[in-house]
């Protein structure tokens, strides 16, 4: 599988994050990075259709993306993970459809690479409402309650949507 430079950098970043975190013997994944490397997908960046303006509010990617995905059910998945922005990776959320393109609701320019966990929009909304936070990472940088459950026990495959490109091994 051919990767863009930015996709390679993003994968390298996540592998570095997962590497030093030895998997706890009875846990399924080595942190959020390990979860993303195993179940995440790569998404192609795309310009905003028809305008230079972003349709959502900068800094509100989680809210804007879940709102967009829920409004389009079942067309779009809610995706949470990492995107390569202007020179470095950032925790981020976006929507994606069957074409594997990242529909970024808040960044003025699309990121150079996107790697995230594509979750069914209604399930993502239910989980976020229940726990009062995003799916993967809290604002303080620690794994969310839901992410910790997935790291320990694994993620139910029926929560995920088959969009984007699989993450290559190695």
Residue 144 sits in which domain range?
5-160
Contact 79, 124 (CB under 8 A): no
* Total number of domains in the chain: 1
Whether residue 165 lies inside any domain: the answer is: no
Q: What residues have CB less than 8 Å from 53, skipping those under 6 apart? A: none
Whether residue 167 lies inside any domain: the answer is: no
Two structure tokens written together for 67: 């709102």
Q: Which residues in the chain show pLDDT less than 70?
A: 20-22, 49-54, 170
Q: What residues have CB less than 8 Å from 15, skipping those under 6 apart? A: 33, 37
Whether residue 142 lies inside any domain: the answer is: yes
Whether residue 169 lies inside any domain: the answer is: no
Q: What is the pLDDT of residue 21?
A: 66
pLDDT tens column, 78-95: 999 999 987 889 999 999
Q: What is the pLDDT of residue 16?
A: 92
Whether residue 166 lies inside any domain: the answer is: no
């Amino acid at each position: 599988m051919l990767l863009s430079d930015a996709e390679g950098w993003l994968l390298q970043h996540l592998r570095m994050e997962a590497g030093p975190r030895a998997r706890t013997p009875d846990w399924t994944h080595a942190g959020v990075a390990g979860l993303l490397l195993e179940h995440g997908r790569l998404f192609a960046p795309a310009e905003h259709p028809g305008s230079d303006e972003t349709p959502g509010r900068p800094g509100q990617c989680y809210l804007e993306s879940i709102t967009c995905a829920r409004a389009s059910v079942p067309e779009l998945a809610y995706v949470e993970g990492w995107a390569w922005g202007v020179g470095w990776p950032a925790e981020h959320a976006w929507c994606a459809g069957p074409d594997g393109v990242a529909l970024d609701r808040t960044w003025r320019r699309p990121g150079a690479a996107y790697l995230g966990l594509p979750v069914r929009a209604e399930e993502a909304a239910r989980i976020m409402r229940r726990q009062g936070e995003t799916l993967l990472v809290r604002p303080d940088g620690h794994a969310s309650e839901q992410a910790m459950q997935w790291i320990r026990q694994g993620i139910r495959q029926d929560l995920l949507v088959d969009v984007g490109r699989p993450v290559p091994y190695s």
